[in-house]
Structures are given as structure tokens and as C-alpha cells.
Amino acid sequence: MHKDLNKQYLKIVALLSLAITVTIRFEMILSYFFAEENRHHGRQVVISFAHFGMEIIISYIVAFLMFTLNFYILNPVEKHNKLRLPKVVLAVVLTFVSVSILNFLLFSVKNMIDPASRPLGHRGEFDLRNFFVSSLVIGGVLIIRLVFQKQTFMLENESLKRESLQSQYESLKNQLSPHFLFNSLTALQVLIKDAPDKAQLYVNSLSKALRYTLQSNEKQLVTLEEEMRFMESYLFLIRMRFDINLTIDTQIADSHFIFKLPPLTVQTLVENAIKHNEISKRNSLHIRIVTTDKDTLEVTNNINKKMTEEEGTGIGLNNLSKQIQLLIGKEIKISRESNLFRVEVPLIKD
């Protein structure tokens, strides 16, 4: 970051030095470029190209060197240390003294090279010009420092926000695998007791599902195709648990298989429907998983409200909603229509 700021500082001071040069030499520039008009009006102001060029170069060099000097005194790219008054006073004094000495030396050399030319203005004008240059340089460096500090603080704040969001996301994601494992093992316990012959098939599908959950912990997003392959094993598990009392219809458009979403999204939505609804011969549950033209995944189910609610673990739609919000800044849509419960999740284009 410091290297980038140093390069930015050099680019800025190169332009500011040119602006200061034009400002303090504005009268001479006008005299040089309008020499014919001055002569026409009887003004005997004739400036040679050599004189004009050396004056501009000297002014530019002095301004640029003063910006360089104050880079080490005021340290405009420093973002944390406060600027103390003694350091500012030191910068002002050193800058004015350095400008005066440099101008004197450079103009002396210029006069030796071109004896016909002499500095324009009297001693008082010369000192005033030095003070003016010093003030512009000090003011410019202080403004640059403020701009750099604001820029750096903004970048640091954005970085901290990203780290915070990443931390929140990882925390939410890490809750899903234990939750899925707990429910699966609970179901397996029931199967071992009531249907031992199905328990082996259940274990095989469970191992595939658990492999996916472990691998997905290393990813923020997976393709819908990967998610639905996992769902084949997961749906096999829950169909074994509920038999014909649970029907699940999936209609995924081929064009949406490359879209992405957080791992275990579909499983969370299906599990939510199962958790909050009665599933029995009397009240069967129908779940529909489809993609829409709005590039969303929609999961709907009929509502068979349980007589007594299960004690939840606090992980479900709220968790999934936070994940989606942290990743893409969008909300999932939850709605009830008549006897239907619908959840719509935005899909993410690669």
C-alpha cells in the first residue's frame, strides 16, 4: 500500500509543481507569449526563449524539490500518526529557507550561463515569491496528507467489513454440517430399530451425503448441478424415512445448472418443510423444487401444521437468509399463499 501511495504522491506533486510554476510565473508567461502585442503598445519587455525556459525550469525544480523535502518531514502517506505542530513549524521554516537558497543558487548559475539575463523584480519581490512558493507547497502537502488518510481509512474500513462478513459467513456455514449430521443420525437410529433391512441402504446414501457436506465446508458457493447431485442421496434418505407420505418433485432447467448458491441450500429448505409439517398417511407432504425465469430457485410445500411444534435448534431459514445476504447482498423471499408455503432463493451467475 505504501508503494502505491508513494507513486500517487509523485504523480500529484509533479502536476502541483507545474501548477505552482505557472502561477508564480504567470506574468512572465503572458509577457513572453504576447511579446508582439507588448511591443506594439510601446512596452519594452522582451524575453528570450533561453531566459524564459530557464526561469520555468528553475521554478519547477524548486517546487518539486520542496514537495520531496516535505515528503520526509510531514510524511503525507502516514495514516496513523498525528501531525504535531512543531513538525509543521519545522516544515515551514525549512521549506522557506530551502526555497530561498535554491532560488539564489540556481539563478546565480543561470546568470553565469546567460549573463545578459537578470532576475525579474527586486529583492522584495524575490522574497515574496519565495514565501508564496513555500506556502503553496506546505498547503499542498497538508491537503495531500488529508486526502491520503481519508482514502486509506476508507480502504481499511472496507477490508474490515469484508473480513467481518467472511467471519460471519464461516460461522453460519459451519453450523450446517453438524445440524445435518444430527438429524441424519436421529433418523438412522429410528430405522435401525424399526426397519433394519433399510438401514444399510440408508448408511450408504448417508456416507455420500456426508462426503458432500464435508467438501462443501471448503467452499462458499457450489453449482446448482453439484447441489442437486447431493440432493439425490439426501432425498433417498428422507424418502426411506417417510415412504409414500412424502413426495418431492424437481424441475430444474438445464440452463440453471451452472448457476451457484451456498452449499446445502436446497437441503435446508426441504428440511425446513419437513420439520414444520406433519407427514402421515392422513396428511402427506408435497414438496416442489423448481427454477424460475427470474433466475431463482423456488421451493414450495403444502402446509400440514403439526399439532405440537418440534423444539428447534435455531438453524434454518434465518441462517440461510443471512448467508445469501452476506454473499450477494440479496434477500430470500418467503411467502404464504392459501395452503402453500414458498421460499424463493436468488441464484448467482458465475
Instruction: With CA atoms as reference, report the closest residue to 107 among 56, 146, 171.
Output: 56
What pLDDT shows up at residue 313? 45
Give yes or no: residues 93 and 230 share one domain.
Answer: no
Report d(CA 320, CA 325) in Å as an integer: 9
Report d(CA 289, CA 266) in Å as an integer: 8
Give yes or no: residues 16 and 136 share one domain.
Answer: yes
Is the distance from CB of 31 to CB of 38 less than 8 angstroms? yes
Q: Is residue 70 part of a domain?
A: yes
Q: Is residue 45 part of a domain?
A: yes
Which CATH number goes with the domain that contains 307? 3.30.565.10
Give yes or no: residues 147 and 234 share one domain.
Answer: no
* pLDDT digit string (tens) for the chain, length 350 residues: 557 777 888 889 899 999 998 888 887 777 777 655 555 544 545 567 777 788 888 889 999 999 999 888 888 877 666 778 888 889 889 998 998 888 888 877 877 776 655 554 556 667 788 888 888 999 998 998 888 888 877 877 776 566 655 545 555 555 455 666 676 777 777 778 777 777 777 787 778 777 777 676 667 788 999 989 888 888 887 787 787 888 999 999 999 999 998 888 888 888 888 888 888 888 899 999 999 999 999 999 999 887 765 554 445 677 778 777 777 778 889 999 888 999 999 998 87
Give yes or no: residues 142 and 199 share one domain.
Answer: no
| DSSP state string for 67-79 | HHHHHHHT-TT--
Give 107's contacts (C-beta < 8 A, 6+ positions apart): 58, 119
Record the pTM.
0.50
Q: Is residue 171 part of a domain?
A: no
Q: Is residue 308 part of a domain?
A: yes
Q: Is residue 139 part of a domain?
A: yes
Is the distance from CB of 346 to CB of 328 less than 8 angstroms? yes
Is the distance from CB of 300 to CB of 341 less than 8 angstroms? yes
Give yes or no: residues 131 and 230 share one domain.
Answer: no
Give yes or no: residues 216 and 290 share one domain.
Answer: yes
Is the distance from CB of 327 to CB of 345 less than 8 angstroms? no
Q: Structural domain tally of the chain?
A: 2
Is the distance from CB of 35 to CB of 47 less than 8 angstroms? yes
Full domain range(s) for residue 112: 2-158
Domain limit, last residue, from 132, 158, 184: 158
The CA-based dihedral angle spanning residues 224, 229, 231, 232, taken in that order and rounded to the nearest 10 degrees: 150
Q: Is residue 188 part of a domain?
A: no
Give yes or no: residues 150 and 245 share one domain.
Answer: no
Give 210's contacts (C-beta < 8 A, 6+ positions apart): 180, 181, 184
What pLDDT shows up at residue 76? 81
Give yes or no: residues 140 and 202 share one domain.
Answer: no
What pLDDT shows up at residue 293? 92
Give yes or no: residues 150 and 8 share one domain.
Answer: yes
Q: Is residue 179 part of a domain?
A: no
Give yes or no: residues 113 and 204 share one domain.
Answer: no
Give yes or no: residues 75 and 133 share one domain.
Answer: yes
What pLDDT shows up at residue 323? 74
Is the distance from CB of 312 to CB of 222 less than 8 angstroms? no
What is the identity of the amino acid at 46? V
Instruction: With CA atoms as reference, report the closest residue to 69 among 104, 93, 34.
Output: 93
What pLDDT shows up at residue 328? 74
Query: In 3-state terms, what secondary structure has residue 249?
Result: strand
What pLDDT shows up at residue 117? 58
CA distances from 287 to 33, 56, 202, 243, 245 (A): 83, 80, 21, 14, 11
